[in-house]
Amino acid sequence: MSDDSDAGDVTDADDIDDAAAAIRNGELVVYPTETVYGLAADATDPDAVARVFEAKGRARDKPVSMAVPDVGTALAYTCPSEREQRFMRELLPGPVTVVVDRWEALPDALTGGDPKVGIRIPDHPVALALLEAVGAVTATSANISGNPSATRTEELDEITEAAAVVLDAGETGGGTGSTVVDVEAGTIHRRGANADAVEAWLREE
């Protein structure tokens, strides 16, 4: 486990390389986002996704979102409408999860069999560096289900025991999770960071 006890920014490329290697091997990684620390696994590997659910104690019928480095990568796994793509290009990267249609190649384990998946492009340099290296990972908070989310690695619960690597980038931007939105339906499923901007976009577009 790679854990910077000084809670400084992760700038060492070796840390990212270690985390990327762990994900490619089907292991779990704790990583920072602009909201809270997340738990990453290869979002295209059903066995790795199952480890996320097991580590969190999360019900298998509760979907997990997917983080990608950019909208172009999202298009390799999903089929957003033109309006959804416009929304994604205008508001991402940022603390927003956009629910869109997925390609069948994504494992049902990720979405609980739902034909849609949440897409997240975190606005954090460490998260983006990891995603550039591996493509797509799970985007769910790094905590046991029901426990508070962590903005510092010192707040992480026993879920770290399941992680091969912890990328410590100090305190994240805020304890509020991302806003979850279905752009086509015009529905905000969860109000979180940047919710006002999401509502404004939906009204104006």
Angstrom distance (rounded) from CA 45 to CA 77: 13
Give the whole-number percent of the chain exceeding pLDDT 90. 89
What pLDDT was estimated at residue 1?
42
Indicate yes or no: pTM above 0.75: yes
Using omega within 30 degrees of 0 as the cis cutoff, is the peptide bond preceding 93 cis?
yes
DSSP string covering 100-155, please? EEB-TTS-HHHHTT-SEEEEE----HHHHHHHHHHS-EEEEESS-TTSPP-SSGGG
In a domain, 119, yes or no: yes
In a domain, 186, yes or no: no
In a domain, 179, yes or no: no
Q: What is the CATH number of the domain that holds 155?
A: 3.90.870.10
Q: Assess contact for 180 and 139: CB atoms under 8 A.
A: no
What pLDDT was estimated at residue 7?
39
**Residues 58-109 pLDDT 10s:** 999 999 999 999 999 999 999 999 999 999 999 999 999 999 999 998 999 9
| Average confidence (pLDDT) over 137-161 | 95
In a domain, 187, yes or no: no
Domain count for the chain, please give it.
1
**Residues 17-46 pLDDT 10s:** 999 999 999 999 999 999 999 999 999 999
In a domain, 141, yes or no: yes
In a domain, 203, yes or no: no
Q: Which domain holds residue 148?
A: 13-174
What pLDDT was estimated at residue 5?
36
